[in-house]
Amino acid sequence: MTVKLAGEKPAEYVLLLGGEVKDRPGGRYAMLKGGPMVGELSAESVNRLLAGPLTYRDHLVARLPDADVIKLEAGDRKATFSKPEGTWKLTQPLASEADHDALEALVTALARLRADEFVTEKATPEQLKTFGLDKPFMRWQFVVDDQTKLDLLVGGVEKGGTRRYAKFHGIDAVFLLDAKLSPRVTAEYRPRTVFKEPIDPARIEAVKFGYQKDPFALKKTDDGWQVVGKADAKVNTKALTDALAVLRDLKLERYVVDDKAQLKLYGLDPPELTLEVTTEDGKQTLLIGGLEGGSKKRYARLASSKAADVFLLDEPASTKLFASLATLTEK
C-alpha cells in the first residue's frame, strides 16, 4: 500500500503486508519498504487494508423522498398499498387493512438508503443465484405521482448472518442491507392476527381435527377432555394444552397470496386438516394445507374468508396445530 504526501515536503511511504501470523487469525506481518523492522498488524487493520475499492464507494445508494403507492411482489403474490385518505391500505388485489405505522416507518428507513456492505459491482448469473437474486424473495416498488422512485429487489440471507442481499432492478451492483433494515423489507404489512375474534383456550369446549384420513374429535366434559367415540383413550392434557395455547394469539407469518389463489397448489383444496374449534361464543375454523418447500411451515387460510387468500404459519404453530391423535393421547 503506497501513501503519497503532497506539499512543500512531498514524501512516499510503502507498507508491505506479508503472511498470516500463526495463532492470530487474520493478523499479518508487515513492514515499511526499506525499513529494518517487521511488525504484526491486527485482523481489524488488515481487513481495512486489504479491502477492495467497493469498500470506499459511497454507501448512500438511493434517496426516497416519499411514496403514495407501494407495490410488492413475492413469489405468486402481487399486492399494492395506497393512501387514498392519507392512511395506508391494501388496495389491490382486494381492499383490506394495512399496518399504516409500519409502512410509514419502512418509507422513512428507505429515505436515505445506505448499503451496509457492497458485495460486487457486477454480479454474474451464478452470483445472483448464490445471493438469492435470480428469483428475488421480494420486490418493492415505491411510486410517487405515477413514477417509480425506488425499485428494490431483496434476496437471501448472508451465510451465518442476518443481513439480506439486495440490488436495484436493472442495475448489476449487489449489496447487503443492514441487520435492522433486512427484517423490515421481508415483514408482513397486513394485520397478522389470524382470528378476528380472539380465542381463549380456557373456554374451548371441543376441537375437531378433520384430517382427510383418520379424523378425530376431542370434547371437554366434567371429568376432563375425552376423545369422542373412544372411551378407552386417555388424553395427554399437557400436549393438548400446548396445542390449544397456540390459538390464543395466533399470528400468521406472511401472506402468500391475497386473493384468487390456486388453492390446490398449497394443499388447501381440499385442506389437509380442517381444524374446528368450538368455544362458548361459537365456532371458528382454520384450514391447514401442505408444507412450504423443505420447511415445517404450513400454508393455511380461514374457512370464513371471503377472499381466496393463503397465508403461512410459522414452524412452532404449524407443528403443534397439525397434531395427530397419537401425540394428544397417552400410551
What does the DSSP assignment read for 128-178? HHHTT-SS-SEEEEEEETTEEEEEEEEEEEPTTSS-EEEEETT---EEE--
Provide the whole-model pTM: 0.84
Show Cβ contacts of residue 86 under 8 Å, excluding neighbours closer than 6 positions.
none
> In this predicted structure, which of 12-16, 20-24, 301-305, 314-318 has the lowest mean pLDDT?
20-24
Which pLDDT does position 231 carry in this prediction?
87
Q: What is the pLDDT of residues 235-278, one digit of tens each?
A: 999 999 999 999 999 999 999 999 999 999 999 999 999 999 99
pLDDT level of residue 82 (50, 70, 90 thresholds): very high
Percent of the chain with pLDDT over 90: 92
How confident is the model at residue 18, as a pLDDT?
95
- Residue 50 binned pLDDT confidence (cut-offs 50, 70, 90): confident
CATH 2.60.40 for domain 201-328: yes
Question: Please, which residues have CB within 8 angstroms of residue 233's CB and are 6 or more apart in sequence?
Answer: 226, 227, 325, 329
pLDDT the model gives residue 23: 87
pLDDT tens-place string over residues 92-143:
999 999 999 999 999 999 999 999 999 999 999 999 999 999 999 999 999 9
Q: Is 90 exceeded by the pLDDT of residue 203?
A: yes
Largest CA distance in the chain: 99
Per-domain boundaries in the chain: 2-50, 60-184, 201-328
pLDDT of amino acid 56: 81
